[in-house]
Amino acid sequence: MDWTLELVMLPVSDVDRAKGFYEEQAGFKLDHDTRIGEDVRFVQLTPPGSGCSIAFGPGMSSMAPGSLEGLTLVVNDLDAARAFLIERGVDASPIQHYGEAGFEDGRGDPWNSFVFFADPDGNAWTVQERPAQA
């Protein structure tokens, strides 16, 4: 039996602002934006190439807006991913790696190169580079 993670709920304070950020700035594909009654709205977006989507909306989560950390996207070209985010106005960190003193500027060994950004509420994302396949 396969168990697949296909949806992560994000706690946001403003659904339209979050939708705009993820669709227009982060480049996620809008899967749907559905009202389920007067007080419930379900917005789902998927990162390019991902089998896992994010969703948010009023009535969807009891987490405080901006409280989610550790969301990780994996890419094969970290420079291109960072440039993509920066070009769209996302405040993405320089490329960093984990060293003896914690996170330090510059690339690290395979699987140890990262870029960090947050959505308008402060939900924290990591973009990690996958090593080239031999």
Q: What percentage of the chain's residues is helix, strand, coil (to nearest 5)?
A: 15, 35, 50
Arithmetic mean of pLDDT, 63-74:
96
pLDDT, residue 132, reads 79
pLDDT at 133: 72
- Distance, first Cα to last Cα, the chain: 30
Give the predicted TM-score (pTM) of the model: 0.93
**Residue 80 has what pLDDT?**
97
Strands 124-129 and 114-118: antiparallel
- What's residue 36's pLDDT? 87
